Structure 1
């Protein structure tokens, strides 16, 4: 099962298909980011890596 690279929480395969970056990494999930800002937080965190 995929997990968030930021907090380590497990996420669903469906969540990973939608929010993972081009390398398949998930930089934000519902456990570590506000629901409305997941995509934005993921982009910001990906830029920092």
Structure 2
């Protein structure tokens, strides 16, 4: 059961396949970031 590394909310397997990094970590989800900016928020959180 994949979870967001930032807010620990459950995400679907489908969401994780699309937005997880190469190590399977989901750094942003609809619960902790705007839907339109999930990819950008993920990249920003990786950089920090």
Q: Same fold (TM over 0.5)?
A: yes
Q: Is there any run of 5+ residues in structure 2 with no aligned partner, and where? A: none
With normalisation by structure 1, the TM-score equals 0.95
With normalisation by structure 2, the TM-score equals 0.97
Which consecutive aligned stretches of 4+ in structure 1 deviate over 4 angstroms post-superposition?
none
Q: Distance in 2 between matches of 1:46 and 1:5?
A: 11
RMSD: 0.4
Aligned length: 48
Q: Is there any run of 5+ residues in structure 1 with no aligned partner, and where? A: none
Q: Secondary structure at the match of 1:40?
A: helix
Tell me how far 1:19 sits from its aligned partner. Answer: 0.1
In structure 1, the partner of 2:41 is 41
Q: Distance in 1 between matches of 2:10 and 2:26?
A: 10
